[in-house]
């Protein structure tokens, strides 16, 4: 019984609906092949490919007579490689062909694959103007194909072929992305292992830290060094840029500081040493300008003093015990890694009981909401305007304010904080 127009339309709708839901190219081809045979019956369909081959070589990548459904993208070694013959002429001919009285020579390399077929329709699938693939429909009876059907079938086959190719590329890209993501994850884990697992309270100083990267790996850095006499050195730094390259520079800064020959209780000397090390090492990594802003401070519980130096870093915010919020100013020079021979200044002041200091990177004050507005220093000061019982409370209150302001807009920069509270 002949299929009515309504039934054919229903079959076509089912075909495109089912194909559109596929994410695996092999499964999409399988579903398309089965559905198309309902709409356009034939006795045999072959898929050919000459991709990455030289004339007259080609492969038969699929055959509806094969019991085993070979995946040509993953099992290429199982696909027949043929050389010359009628099908080679067709696929290298770059044009559609109909042969309604097919008589293939028994010596043709493809003879066994088209045995008993008398009609052939060859539809080239173009990629960059070349017929790199081809669909060949065959029937056992002669004169089975009509030349008038070629335009529609050619367009349909090429649109599907392009969709399949794009899906293959998407799958390859996904695999590559997953591999890269695994590498970045490993870099991030190594990077986090360089940070102190916690910040133990120093004599007279309550400490807390927060570290969150915008990507798997980032360029922010903080650290704590225990010095003699109960003194503690704290650094926070921000590498220009993001991702793996910034993480490498961060790791080099970490290595330089932990192998430093400079007196660690002198911020100016530490920053000068780090600057020279980065200039010497980072030029090997990239010709691009890579710089690091840093703030380094040493706390002495004996006189409650804080000695500090800054290499172009955001001035920390200071809430005094009397409730005033201001910046720790002065001693601010160029970032690290820009110019040789920089000398860094250092300043000193005394902390009183209840004083709070927040060290932070750009990602905090430059956190943006959906409208593009930045969190800014004023909003940060509003959080610090009220006293906190612990340094951890300072961190949590700032994070809550940032999240509330950004409304979970994805972070574009790493966000790192170190909070100090004099006890």
Does any domain span residue 182?
no
Q: Which one, of 224, 284, 226, 225, lies nearest residue 252 by Cα?
A: 284
Same domain for 153 and 218, yes or no, is no
Give the HSE-up count for residue 319: Cα atoms under 13 Å, Cβ half-sphere. Answer: 21
What are the beta bridge partners of residue 38? Answer: none
pLDDT at 229: 87
Does any domain span residue 184?
no
Same domain for 56 and 90, yes or no, is yes
Q: What is the CATH number of the domain that holds 139?
A: 3.30.450.40
pLDDT band at 356 (very low <50, low <70, confident <90, very high): very high
For residue 277, pLDDT over 80 is answered with yes
More confident residue, 183 or 398: 398
Does any domain span residue 175?
no
Domain of residue 94 covers 5-169
Same domain for 164 and 100, yes or no, is yes
Q: Is the bond leading into 154 cis (omega within 30 degrees of zero)?
A: no
pLDDT at 70: 73
Q: How many domains does the chain have?
A: 2
Last residue of a domain, one of 137, 169, 201: 169
DSSP assignment of 61-83, as one string?
EEETT-SS---TTT-GGGS-EEE
Helix boundaries (H) for 195-313: 243-258, 267-285
Last residue of a domain, one of 135, 169, 203: 169
Between CA 81 and CA 61 the distance in angstroms is 9
Does any domain span residue 176?
no
pLDDT at 287: 45
pLDDT band at 172 (very low <50, low <70, confident <90, very high): low
Q: Which one, of 34, 11, 19, lies nearest residue 167 by Cα?
A: 19
More confident residue, 266 or 249: 266
pLDDT band at 383 (very low <50, low <70, confident <90, very high): very high
**DSSP-derived pairing of the beta strands 305-311 and 292-300:** antiparallel
Same domain for 157 and 226, yes or no, is no
Average pLDDT over residues 236-255: 84
pLDDT at 331: 66
Same domain for 325 and 398, yes or no, is yes
pLDDT one-digit tens code per residue, 141-152 = 999 999 998 998
Average pLDDT over residues 288-300: 86
For residue 286, pLDDT over 70 is answered with no
Mean pLDDT over each residue of the chain, to the nearest integer: 85
Q: Which one, of 357, 234, 351, lies nearest residue 304 by Cα?
A: 351
CA distances from 123 to 43, 87, 130, 159, 404 (A): 16, 11, 12, 12, 58
pLDDT at 164: 74
Spatial contact of 331 and 345, defined as CB atoms under 8 Å apart? yes
Between CA 363 and CA 370 the distance in angstroms is 15
Spatial contact of 249 and 255, defined as CB atoms under 8 Å apart? no
Same domain for 99 and 196, yes or no, is no
Same domain for 219 and 162, yes or no, is no
Angle at 332 between CA 300 and CA 248, to 5 degrees: 85
Does any domain span residue 145?
yes
Does any domain span residue 270?
yes
Residues 6+ apart with CB under 8 A from 149: 121
Between CA 215 and CA 228 the distance in angstroms is 37
Last residue of a domain, one of 169, 199, 224: 169
pLDDT one-digit tens code per residue, 88-140 = 999 999 999 999 999 999 899 999 999 999 999 999 999 888 999 999 999 99
pLDDT at 214: 77
pLDDT band at 1 (very low <50, low <70, confident <90, very high): very low
Same domain for 215 and 315, yes or no, is yes
pLDDT one-digit tens code per residue, 325-347 = 998 877 678 899 888 888 999 99
Does any domain span residue 346?
yes
Between CA 351 and CA 420 the distance in angstroms is 10
Provide, rounded to the nearest whole percent, the portion of the chain with pLDDT above 90.
Answer: 47
Does any domain span residue 105?
yes
Same domain for 263 and 339, yes or no, is yes
Same domain for 158 and 258, yes or no, is no
Report the Cα–Cα distance between both ends of the chain, in Å, rounded.
92
Same domain for 201 and 110, yes or no, is no
Spatial contact of 239 and 217, defined as CB atoms under 8 Å apart? no
More confident residue, 405 or 219: 405
Average pLDDT over residues 295-300: 95
Same domain for 415 and 346, yes or no, is yes
Cβ neighbours of 303 (radius 10 Å): 8
pLDDT band at 189 (very low <50, low <70, confident <90, very high): confident
Question: Which of 70-84, 109-123, 161-175, 304-318 bottoms out in mean pLDDT, i.e. has the lowest?
Answer: 161-175
């Amino acid at each position: 019984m002949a299929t009515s127009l309504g039934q054919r339309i229903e079959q076509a709708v089912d075909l495109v609906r089912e194909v559109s839901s596929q994410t695996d190219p092999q499964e999409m081809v399988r579903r398309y092949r089965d559905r198309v045979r309902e709409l356009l019956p034939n006795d045999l369909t072959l898929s050919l490919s000459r991709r990455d081959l030289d004339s007259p070589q080609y492969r038969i990548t699929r055959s509806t007579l094969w019991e085993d459904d070979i995946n040509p993208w993953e099992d290429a070694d199982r696909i027949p490689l043929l050389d010359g013959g009628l099908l080679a002429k067709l696929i290298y001919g770059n044009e559609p062909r109909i042969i309604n009285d097919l008589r293939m020579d028994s010596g043709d390399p493809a003879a066994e694959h088209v045995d008993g077929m008398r009609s052939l329709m060859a539809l080239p699938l173009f990629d960059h103007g070349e017929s790199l693939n081809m669909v060949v429909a065959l029937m056992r009876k002669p004169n089975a194909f009509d030349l008038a059907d070629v335009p529609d079938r050619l367009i349909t086959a090429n649109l599907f072929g392009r969709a399949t190719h794009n899906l293959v590329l998407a799958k390859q890209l996904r695999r590559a992305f997953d591999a890269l993501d695994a590498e970045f994850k490993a870099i991030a884990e190594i990077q986090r292992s360089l940070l102190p697992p916690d910040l133990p309270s120093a004599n007279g100083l309550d400490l807390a830290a927060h570290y969150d990267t915008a990507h798997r790996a980032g360029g922010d850095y903080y650290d704590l060094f225990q010095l003699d006499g109960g003194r503690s050195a704290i650094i926070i730094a921000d590498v220009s840029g993001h991702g793996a390259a910034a993480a490498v520079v961060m790791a080099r800064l970490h290595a330089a500081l932990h192998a430093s020959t400079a007196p660690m209780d002198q911020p100016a000397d530490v920053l000068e040493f780090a600057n020279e090390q980065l200039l010497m090492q980072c030029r090997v990594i990239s010709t691009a300008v890579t710089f690091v802003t840093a703030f380094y401070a040493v706390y002495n519980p004996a006189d409650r003093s804080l000695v500090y130096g800054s290499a172009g870093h955001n001035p920390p915010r200071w809430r005094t015990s009397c409730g005033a919020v201001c910046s720790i100013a002065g001693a601010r020079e160029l970032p690290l890694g820009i110019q040789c021979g920089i000398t860094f200044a250092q300043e000193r002041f005394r902390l009183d009981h209840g004083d709070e200091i927040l060290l932070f990177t750009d990602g905090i004050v430059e956190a943006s909401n959906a409208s593009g507005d930045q969190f800014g220093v004023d909003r940060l000061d509003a959080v610090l305007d009220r006293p906190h019982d612990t340094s951890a409370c300072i961190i949590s209150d700032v994070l809550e304010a940032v999240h509330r302001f950004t409304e979970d807009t994805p972070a574009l920069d790493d966000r790192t904080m170190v909070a100090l509270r004099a006890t």
